[in-house]
Structure 1
Amino acid sequence: MARNLIKKISDFFCSIPRILFINFYKLFTRTRVFNTKRLPRRKSVILAINHTADADPIILLAAIKKKIYFIAESENFGNWLTSFFMRKFANCVPV
């Protein structure tokens, strides 16, 4: 029970910078995303997106209200700081 509570508190505090960053991005950019209503609300989906710009994951996070996990090269998880950032703030899974 206590472990579950600690995880919820940790997830909450880790989501604050992410929420602030997404809202900051929305405030200063104009991005149009089409057909987000075609995504099922209650089911999981796999999005295979052609990653052409560095801002693509941010645009995706700002446009889709579901919790999104990204896959990233395992080399990006080399040290504890980048690993912590990628797992907690960017929801990345090493591949």
Structure 2
Amino acid sequence: MDNDKQALATDELSIIPLNNNWYQKLASNFEIIQSYLNKLDTDELEVNDLKNKFDDISGKMNVYDTNMQAIVNILSDYDVPIAIVDGKVVDTTKEGE
């Protein structure tokens, strides 16, 4: 599909003599519409692909967060002074101890 906008010949479709020119303009309208429908189909596929990638990354992040929390819990059981604060593993010892 061209980047140039194509105009539909709808303003001329009301002319009553249904000659060959009228049918050509009508066919041209359908060609223009079809090109936009094809573009919409392509865009929908791209959006679905991006959504699937996002869902995959989101799932991996959930696994990462769960694993990180499990590691912190295990280390905390052994009195390692760490915790997860704002999504980051931090040392919980106070300065000067």
TM-score under structure 1 length normalisation: 0.34
Q: Which has the higher contact order (CA 8 A, sep 6+)?
A: 1
The structure with more radius of gyration = 2
Judging by fraction of residues, say which structure has more helix.
2
